[in-house]
Amino acid sequence: MMQKKLLPPRVAAIQDLSSVGRCSLTATIPTLSAMGYQVIPLPTALLSTQTWGYDRPYFVDLTGETENMTASFVENGLSFRAIYAGYLASADQAQYVEAFFDAFSTRPDESERLPLLLLDPVLGEDGVFYTTCNHSLADGMKRLARKADVITPNLTEACLLLGEDYRDTSFLTKEQIKPYVEALLLQLQAMGPRRVVITGVPDVSGALSNYGVDETRQLFCVSNQKTKTAYPGTGDLFASVLLGKLLDGASFQSAVAYGASFVAEAARLTEAAGTPAREGVLLELLLPKLFPERNL
């Protein structure tokens, strides 16, 4: 009989299934599986391709299925070590995801809430909404953020959650950016989540930084060199690696640093390979790096 601690803990992943583009479930499932976790997907939408760089993806909104999937998981007595929610198809779906959080939260005490709830409030980028997102979905994400333990917005999403003005930081220095982003981090933390990271903030030096605040209110920043090409799905890949590391027991700051450098390496490798940006990063080549060392 295998030792119980070696059995892969279950992680629910509430995200879209985009067949092409290495984002959402097609990033989360391989990544967390490589790290030794069993992913239980609850697809929020079905798309032929992700939306960035493709004309008219075929899109099926699965909002109508969310409640029944949840009920079936409850009926079958499932439990989760973590719940990771990302891209949602509609504002109504956010309410069903909130019900999912409630159905599976046990909360023995506040310091070790089970399961760990990670929300990536996918809404937009570069100051604008993704084509399928809008303000009512942002309101739904705000309600979910209040319940989450960890949230991973980019700068656009942080501003949308807070109703603050988005500023393009790419011509500013880190010293100029820091007070703006740190104020956003503290406001987001005051909404409820103990740990917040604002991802992918560019600056004039050509770095891409993740600014975070941990459960002790310690602020930190980790930076990597930005590639010339931007790839879709890197936020999903980052959140997946971050979650795996947190579940492994890493501190928030070290999990953020590891996830950010993993994504930066994936972007560098993909740029060197010259594959189309809209197909995402070549994460398959890097997954072996994530394998845990285990003697079965």
Under the rule (CB under 6 A), what is the footprint of ligand PXL?
16, 18, 23-24, 47, 50-52, 87, 122, 130, 232-233, 235-236
Structure tokens at 1: 């009989």
Residue with Cβ nearer ligand PXL (214 or 243): 243
Q: Do 143 and 94 touch, CB atoms closer than 8 A?
A: yes
Going 6 to 7 to 13 to 17, the CA torsion angle's sign is positive
Structure tokens at 272: 């060197």
Shortest distance, position 154 Cβ to ligand PXL, whole Å:
10
Long-range contacts of 264-269 (CB under 8 A, 24+ apart): 264/208, 264/224, 264/225, 264/227, 266/234, 266/237, 267/227, 267/229, 267/231, 267/234, 268/225, 268/227
Residue with Cβ nearer ligand PXL (16 or 149): 16
Shortest distance, position 130 Cβ to ligand PXL, whole Å:
5
Residue with Cβ nearer ligand PXL (72 or 131): 131
Shortest distance, position 66 Cβ to ligand PXL, whole Å:
16
Residue with Cβ nearer ligand PXL (122 or 253): 122
Residue with Cβ nearer ligand PXL (198 or 253): 198
Shortest distance, position 225 Cβ to ligand PXL, whole Å:
21
User: Which residue is closest to ligand PXL by CB?
Assistant: 51
d(CA 50, CA 40): 21
Q: Strand, coil or helix: what is 211?
A: strand
Shortest distance, position 52 Cβ to ligand PXL, whole Å:
4
Structure tokens at 160: 């949308």
Q: Strand, coil or helix: what is 198?
A: strand
d(CA 77, CA 175): 50
Q: Strand, coil or helix: what is 85?
A: strand
Shortest distance, position 152 Cβ to ligand PXL, whole Å:
11
Residue with Cβ nearer ligand PXL (128 or 190): 128
